[in-house]
Amino acid sequence: MERVYNFSAGPSQLPLPVLEQAQRDLVNYSGAGCSVMEMSHRSKPYQAIIDTAQATLRRIMQIPDEYEVLFLQGGASLQFSMVPMNLAKRGQTTAYAVTGQFAKKAFEEGKRWGNAVAVVNGKENGFTRIPDITADMIPQDAAYLHITGNNTIYGTTFNTLPETGNVPLVCDLSSVILGKEFDVSKFDLIYAGAQKNMGIAGLTVVIVKKDKLTDDLDPIIPTMLRYKVMADKGSMYNTPPCFAIYMAGLVFQWVEQQGGVAALEKINTKKAGLLYDYLDDSKVFHPVADKKDRSIMNVTFTLPDDDMTAAFIRMATERGMINIKGHRSVGGCRASIYNAMPIEGVEKLVQCMKDFEAGQRD
């Protein structure tokens, strides 16, 4: 069977050269006589793998020296708890922008630790847009403002970062990291699950200002949930997600070979433009997100009824395009067009939509 175009929101499609390199390395990595999956994380070959991955990520994201890069486990969802535990005292005020389902989950976990306040909540508009946030809306004694940079389920994104005054900015960049340029210095902490745009499930990247790392934490916080412990041990306090870090390292190298994040952002903007231009003119397919807040990574759209939606998804699948179905909580359709999705895949999807609208539903 030929490879399909995988529009999944995650785990997502990977660049073919990355998969082919992993295939070549799978049984015997670089003459080591064993697979990365069998390799001791304390060995020199593996130390070179993790060091190279971190150095490459620092280059392509232009991460300043005053930031630590951590390779952790537990997914972005564990960061919903680690962020407040490490950046706020127990009971301290923290601020959240609730702009989607994962933002809401982060907020709920924040409430377990302290006085978490929702400065905006997009639920009232169905999470179809990003509410405006100004510094005067944020409690200036808050330990941080948490935002979800790109809302995978609803297809919205922060195209402009909020002004926070003196409040540190924390951001979940899981579904847009490496797909769009960000000035890392604007954030005190960034985290991202790898399985959307950086690699495979099992790895979470945390980029945090070194001055936010401290041993002065509540004693109840487990050792494994302390950023400073992980930083002091080079992300290897325990056995790290070795193969996931190796795969991410290959993706980082691939990004660099494509011309870096800026070059990929141009391509991603073009891909998204093809879809949105068609959606804006269609009589059958309708975009969900407000135009000013549209994501270039996750394009959400609907059809008039469930039967037509199911028919279109079936037609797309038969044409070699999978995982078009929208998230179960909102329905409709969603096309996740991360870095690894070639422009040909988007063109094929648009043609399928045109044919469906014209009644050619084979």
Q: Is the pLDDT of residue 9 over 90?
A: yes
Residue with tokens 């800026």: 262
Mean predicted lDDT score pLDDT of the chain:
96
pLDDT tens per residue, range 194-219: 999 999 999 999 999 999 999 999 99
By percentage, how much of the chain surpasses pLDDT 70? 99
The count of other CB atoms within 10 Å of the CB of residue 100 is: 23
Structural domains of the chain sorted by starting position, each given as residue range(s) with its CATH number in brackets: 5-15+260-357 (3.90.1150.10), 17-257 (3.40.640.10)
Q: How far is CA 129 from the centre of its chain?
A: 18
- Give 125's pLDDT tier (boundaries 50, 70, 90): confident
What residues are paired with 206 via a beta bridge?
Answer: 70, 191
Q: Is the pLDDT of residue 124 over 90?
A: no
Task: Tell me the residue type at 21.
Answer: Q
What is the full DSSP assignment across 187-217?
A: -SEEEEETTTTTS-TT-EEEEEEGGG--S--
Cα Dmax for the chain:
65
Task: Tell me the residue type at 287.
Answer: P
What's the predicted TM-score (pTM) here? 0.96
